[in-house]
């Protein structure tokens, strides 16, 4: 058995250096710092789009810390929950600040995540060799949606109660297992104290542990394959004599100060919202949620929080009349695949059979519009996971794609934002038609990507990253 050998330092060495050395002999503190940040080389041309990863980490820490303080006073009981939130807001010293930081942090989290995903989309950060990195990020997004949904019920206000009632009832549209699944999620025949208790357990313990594990996996995968950059060039392909990429710089101190500036700007905006507009006009905190939950009084307009509304609009867009449009779209897509795809005949046959089954299932006598609304609601989220295999473009970054590709991305972004806005509004005939058109645009962006992503004249990609110091 090898003898333990402790690092020795000169007598006059600084106390901090001795302390770090003592820790390093027992735990790889310095090695972890160097591997994960200090000596991690990142492309030198990263721009402001690359600050959202560190912002997401900051918000995650902030949500955990504020959540811990909130649980010290919150009561997961249907008779006490709303009162305990009011107690936090009015009686607990600085409780209002902690609560507003947590509620604003939830919206800030999704704003940052959506921007982080946008950066991946425009610069091709989901392409080879980063497919697994994208899947870990997508899993984090799903976990965040679950975390937000479970936490949404906890204030036990009117919108919390009825929002949870509507969303849980959606699972009842699934044939055979739907009613039992809804009952299992609620723990009762209606949203009640049992629902509140299990949602509290998931929100405070189960989902945060899953998120922390996925974040660790995401970071490990990132540092294994390296960061992407606005040019979409692999900097590891051009190494210097020291074995480090020529077009990369150590994250510390260069990106430490780069990110600190981004964090400072974020905290300034975040503080302004927390202190001056924590409800953000009813988008961050709905006014109905300041009214205690009443199972006998349904709000005039029930809608989830804004970060769910794009997908909620997809759900609402699927009506009985719109089903015939969907049947025609599915048939047209199958024909298009047969004519334009280079897939093997067996694969085309499978797609045709699936399409035929979907068309039959869309008949009013087979499965109703509510079922297909739930299916497309889920598909609108899950289709994001397929991005690495849908994009067949010969280049990664939007910088070197045909100019008209930018308009395709812009149209997709516009449809997504429009769906999000319509989801916050009460249903209307005009809004319904617009949401149906935007739903078709949303899915067309992904399902037609294998073809449109390869079309047009692509610009030559340079061998080295383009960087202009300023």
Binding site listing for heme b: 102, 116, 203, 218
Which residues lie closer than 8 Å to 28 by C-beta, 6 or more apart? none
Cα 358 from Cα 76, distance rounded (Å): 43
Q: Residue 166: exposed, middle, or buried by beta-carbon count in 10 A (0-12, 13-18, 19+)?
A: middle
Based on its alpha-carbon atoms, the radius of gyration of the chain, rounded to whole angstroms, reads: 25
Which residues lie closer than 8 Å to 291 by C-beta, 6 or more apart? 157, 158
The answer to whether the CB of 435 falls within 8 A of the CB of 316 is: yes
Q: Which residue ranges are tagged as binding site for a ubiquinone?
A: 223
Cα 170 from Cα 43, distance rounded (Å): 45
What's the longest Cα–Cα distance across the chain? 86
Task: Name the region of 156 (left: φ>0; alpha: ψ -120 to 50; beta: rest).
Answer: left
Q: Which residue ranges are tagged as binding site?
A: 102, 116, 203, 218, 223
């Amino acid at each position: 058995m090898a003898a333990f050998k402790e690092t020795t330092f000169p007598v006059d060495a600084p106390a901090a250096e001795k302390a770090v050395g003592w820790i390093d002999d027992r735990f790889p503190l310095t090695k972890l710092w160097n591997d994960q940040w200090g000596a991690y080389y990142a492309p030198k041309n990263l721009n402001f789009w690359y600050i959202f990863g560190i912002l997401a980490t900051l918000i995650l820490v902030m949500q955990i810390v504020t959540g811990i303080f909130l649980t010290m006073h919150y009561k997961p009981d249907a008779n006490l929950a709303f009162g305990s939130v009011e107690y936090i807001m009015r009686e607990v010293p600085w409780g209002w600040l902690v609560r507003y930081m947590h509620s604003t942090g939830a919206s800030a989290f999704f704003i940052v995540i959506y921007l982080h995903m946008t950066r991946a989309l425009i610069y091709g950060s989901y392409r080879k060799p980063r497919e697994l990195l994208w899947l870990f990020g997508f899993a984090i997004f799903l976990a965040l949606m679950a975390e937000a949904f479970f936490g949404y019920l906890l204030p036990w206000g009117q919108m919390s109660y009825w929002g949870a009632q509507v969303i849980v009832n959606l699972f009842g549209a699934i044939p055979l297992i739907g009613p039992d699944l809804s009952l299992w999620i609620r723990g009762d025949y209606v949203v009640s104290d049992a629902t509140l208790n299990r949602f509290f357990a998931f929100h405070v313990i189960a989902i945060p542990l899953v998120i922390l594990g996925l974040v660790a996996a995401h970071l490990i995968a990132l540092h294994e394959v390296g960061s992407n950059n606005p040019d979409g060039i692999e900097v590891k392909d051009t190494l210097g004599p020291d074995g480090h990429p020529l077009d990369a710089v150590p994250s510390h101190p260069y990106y430490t100060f780069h990110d600190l500036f981004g964090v400072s700007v974020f905290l300034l905006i975040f503080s302004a919202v927390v202190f001056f507009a924590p409800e953000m006009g009813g988008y961050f905190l709905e006014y109905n949620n300041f009214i205690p939950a009443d199972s006998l009084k349904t709000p005039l307009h029930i809608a989830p929080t804004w970060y769910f509304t794009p997908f909620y609009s997809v759900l609402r867009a699927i009506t009985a009349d719109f089903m015939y449009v969907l049947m025609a779209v599915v048939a047209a897509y199958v024909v298009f695949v047969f004519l334009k795809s280079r897939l093997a005949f067996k694969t085309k046959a499978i797609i045709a059979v699936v399409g035929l089954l979907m068309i039959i299932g869309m008949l009013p006598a087979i499965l109703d519009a509510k079922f297909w609304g739930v299916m497309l609601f889920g598909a609108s989220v899950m289709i994001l996971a397929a991005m690495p295999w849908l994009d067949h473009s010969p280049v990664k970054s939007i910088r070197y794609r045909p100019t008209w590709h930018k308009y395709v991305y812009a149209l997709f972004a516009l449809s997504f934002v429009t769906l999000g806005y319509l989801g916050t509004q009460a249903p209307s005939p005009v809004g319904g038609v617009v949401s149906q058109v935007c739903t078709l645009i949303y899915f067309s962006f992904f399902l037609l990507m294998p073809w449109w992503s390869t079309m047009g004249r692509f610009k030559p990609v340079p061998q080295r990253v383009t960087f202009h110091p300023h």
